């Protein structure tokens, strides 16, 4: 399945490279939460249960066969001895066979009449004597000289009963060896099967893990790049294709949202500009405090629409117009936009920047600081310069930033002071486009502190920013 076969509308950007720095980072999954480990464990347990049942069945079957074969051998021996004693005609003129092995003759009263030499040498258990009761007549299993025995009896006509026993030590050894081998296999097999399942799972789920890493790098705020599809159309292929279709729908929805937002902001921008100018003129002419306050509200709404427009356009579409301006010019702008700000540091330097964008970024920081500090609080902005860096430090005497927000404070529509939540996001975006950055936190002395940094104004001929300005034809 190719990307052209997706049913959703085509996105604006489809083949942007996936880099490790784009989006969320990929983390190793702990083994106890790993699908590969769970599959290997389930496979091991299922296979172990099957092997255990089959092996136990085979072991008991083989041991049963050996036991039955031993009984046949014992019965054959007893019948052979009884046959020699009872079939006298066939053995006429022949002597009775000597009683060998573990064999005895017992009369009808249960007394011993004849015994083999092996039984006479028994020193364990009762002493066997001719004419006395035979103690093993009713026992099928017993030990003689530490050897396990199994016995059986046969009628021998006038001679009484033939008692024959055979040692089953070989059978016991075979049984013990079988059970030991079975126990050892049940201990070793699970470990080997778990390792084998882990290895097979790693190979089988390699593409799925790779897909997870690629999906984790997607940053919806930048670009919803398509994931490469594997050659085999298996479950992983279906999952990645579904993610790609979802990305297409998300990006199409984002484009529609940006277009709608841009249209709304455009419709609001012109009336607000006229309203702001009219209120400012009315305030200057009449000196009415309420009119001047309304002019400040209109000014606030104007900057909010600028932030919304910037959000609608996106960072990649922002164009900077570079100028080299005195820092005092920027200070004058900020003083008019956010009255009551205290300026510290060295403002006699020059700045290479987009004055409108930098004013917008710093104005957002100062407006947030004034809102947090309140009418009786203090807002300061300090300008510090080094050959490599220009730093604007904005501080207020307010309650500080909520501890639970952290870096989320720079995300759109996230606010800790009741504002729209766009100012900090746009300000950081402007700082990054200038080659700097914006960070924020709470000052040890109280209140919030934001630091906006820009590269130093002195640029070499081979500086990338200098080259890009020359290539784009922007004025400096």
**What confidence tens digit (pLDDT) does each residue in 1-26 have?**
333 333 333 333 333 343 333 333 33
Q: How many residues does the chain have?
A: 476
Higher pLDDT, 276 or 70: 70
Which of the residue ranges 33-47, 298-312, 369-383 would you say has the lowest mean pLDDT? 298-312
Distance CA 245, CA 9 (A): 9
Name the β-bridge partners of 231. none
Position 455 scores a pLDDT of 92
d(CA 317, CA 275): 28
Q: Which of 419, 405, 394, 391 is nearest to 303 (CA)?
A: 419
Give SS3 for 283: helix
In this model, does residue 343 exceed pLDDT 90? Answer: yes
pLDDT class of 458 with cuts at 50, 70, 90: low
Average pLDDT over residues 149-161: 85
Residue 51: its pLDDT value, please?
80
In the DSSP assignment, the letter for residue 445 is T
Mean pLDDT of the chain: 76
pLDDT reported for residue 366? 93
pLDDT of residue 6: 35
User: Which is more confident, 322 or 124?
Assistant: 322
The contacts of residue 412 (CB under 8 Å, 6+ apart) are 311, 421, 422, 425
State yes or no: pLDDT of 379 exceeds 90.
Answer: yes
Residue 357, classified by CB atoms within 10 Å of its CB into exposed (0-12), middle (13-18) or buried (19+), is buried
427-457 pLDDT per residue, tens:
898 999 999 999 998 988 889 999 999 998 6
Residue 252 has pLDDT above 60, yes or no: yes
CATH architecture observed for domain 318-472: 2-Layer Sandwich (3.30)
Strands (E), 283-409: 323-326, 341-345, 350-353, 379-385, 389-396
What pLDDT is stored for residue 263 in this prediction?
A: 77
pLDDT of residue 16: 37
Rg over CA atoms, the chain:
48
- C-beta atoms surrounding 468 within 10 Å: 12
As a whole number of angstroms, the distance between CA 329 and CA 350 comes to 9
State how far the alpha carbon of 459 is from the alpha carbons of 353, 452, 456, in Å. 12, 19, 7
In this structure, are residues 210 and 44 in contact, taking their beta carbons and an 8 Å threshold? no
CA distance 67 to 55: 18
**Residue pair 373/345 in contact by the 8 Å Cβ criterion:** no
Over residues 193-247, the pLDDT tens digits come to 878 877 777 777 777 777 777 777 776 666 666 777 777 777 777 888 888 888 8
pLDDT at position 24: 36
HSE on the CB side for 239, CA within 13 Å?
Answer: 13
* Three-state DSSP class for residue 260: helix
Q: What is the pLDDT of residue 121?
A: 67
Predicted pLDDT of residue 122: 62
3-state secondary structure of 9: coil
**375, 350 contact by CB (below 8 A):** no
Report the pLDDT value the prediction gives residue 171, as an integer from 0 to 100: 81
Provide the CB-side half-sphere exposure for 86 (13 A, CA). 13
Least confident residue range of 156-170, 304-318, 340-354, 433-447? 304-318
Q: Using DSSP bridges, classify how beta strands 102-106 and 350-353 pair: parallel, antiparallel or unpaired.
A: unpaired
Assign residue 48 a region: left if phi > 0, alpha if psi is -120 to 50, beta otherwise?
alpha
In the chain, where the domains are located: 1-8+218-316, 318-472
The CA–CA distances, whole Å, from 373 to 173, 361, 396, 399, 422 equal 90, 19, 6, 8, 19
Rounded distance, CA 469 to CA 354, Å? 12
Rounded Cα–Cα distance for residues 452 and 395 (Å)? 12
1-8+218-316 CATH choice from 3.30.70, 1.10.287, 1.20.1740, 2.40.128: 1.10.287
Give the residue, 212 or 74, on which the prediction is more confident. 74
Token pair of 124, please?
């364990």
235-244, 288-297, 314-323, 403-412: least confidently modelled range: 314-323
The predicted pLDDT at position 27 comes to: 42
Structure tokens at 437: 């950055």
Q: Which of 160-169, 271-280, 407-416, 434-443 has the lowest mean pLDDT?
A: 407-416
pLDDT, position 109: 85
Dump pLDDT digits (tens) for 100-118: 568 888 888 888 888 887 7
- The enclosing H or E element of 128 equals none
Token output for 107 = 């009369």
* Alpha-carbon torsion (303, 304, 305, 306), positive or negative: positive
Question: How high is the pLDDT of residue 92?
Answer: 54
Does the pLDDT at position 148 exceed 70? yes
Alpha-carbon 110 to chain mean position:
79
């Amino acid at each position: 399945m190719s990307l052209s076969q997706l049913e959703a509308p085509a996105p604006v950007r489809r083949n942007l490279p996936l880099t490790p720095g784009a989006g969320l980072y990929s983390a190793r999954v702990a083994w106890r939460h790993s699908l590969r480990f769970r599959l290997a464990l389930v496979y091991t347990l299922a296979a172990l249960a099957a092997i255990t049942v089959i092996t136990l069945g085979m072991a008991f079957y083989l041991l049963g066969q050996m036991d039955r074969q031993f009984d046949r051998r014992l019965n054959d021996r007893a019948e052979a001895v009884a046959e020699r004693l009872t079939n006298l005609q066939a053995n006429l003129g022949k002597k009775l066979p000597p009683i060998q092995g573990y064999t005895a003759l017992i009369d009808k009263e249960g007394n011993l009449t004849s015994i083999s030499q092996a039984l006479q040498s028994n020193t364990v258990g009762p002493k066997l004597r001719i004419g006395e009761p035979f103690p093993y007549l009713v026992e099928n299993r017993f030990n003689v000289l530490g050897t396990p025995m199994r016995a059986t009896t046969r009628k021998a006509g006038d001679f009484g009963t033939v008692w024959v026993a055979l040692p089953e030590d070989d059978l016991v050894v075979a049984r013990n060896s079988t059970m030991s081998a079975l126990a050892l296999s049940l201990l070793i097999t699970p470990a080997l099967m778990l390792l084998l399942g882990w290895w097979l799972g790693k190979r089988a789920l390699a593409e799925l893990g790779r897909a997870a890493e690629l999906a984790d790098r997607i940053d919806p705020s930048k670009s919803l790049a398509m994931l490469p599809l594997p050659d085999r159309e298996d479950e992983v292929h279906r999952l990645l294709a579904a993610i790609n279709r979802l990305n297409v729908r998300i990006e199409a929805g984002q484009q529609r949202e940006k277009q709608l937002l841009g249209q709304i902001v455009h419709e609001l921008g012109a009336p607000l500009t006229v309203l702001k100018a009219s209120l400012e003129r009315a305030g200057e002419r009449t000196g009415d405090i309420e009119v001047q306050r309304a002019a400040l509200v209109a000014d606030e709404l104007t900057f909010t629409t600028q932030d919304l427009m910037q959000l609608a356009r996106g960072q990649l579409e922002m164009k900077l117009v570079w100028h080299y301006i005195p820092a005092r010019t920027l200070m004058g702008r900020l003083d008019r936009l956010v009255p009551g700000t205290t300026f510290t540091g060295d403002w006699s330097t020059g700045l290479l920047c987009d004055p409108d964008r930098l004013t917008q970024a710093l104005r957002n920081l100062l407006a947030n600081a004034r809102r947090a500090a309140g009418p009786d609080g203090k807002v300061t902005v300090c300008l510090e310069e080094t050959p490599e860096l220009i730093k604007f430090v904005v501080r207020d005497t307010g309650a500080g930033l909520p501890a639970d927000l952290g870096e989320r404070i720079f995300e759109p529509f996230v606010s800790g002071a009741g504002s729209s939540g766009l100012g900090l996001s746009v300000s950081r975006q402007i700082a990054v486009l200038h080659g700097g950055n914006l960070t924020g936190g709470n000052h040890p002395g109280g209140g919030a502190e934001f630091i906006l940094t820009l590269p130093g104004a002195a640029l070499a001929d081979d500086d990338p920013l200098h080259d890009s300005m020359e290539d784009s034809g922007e004025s400096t």
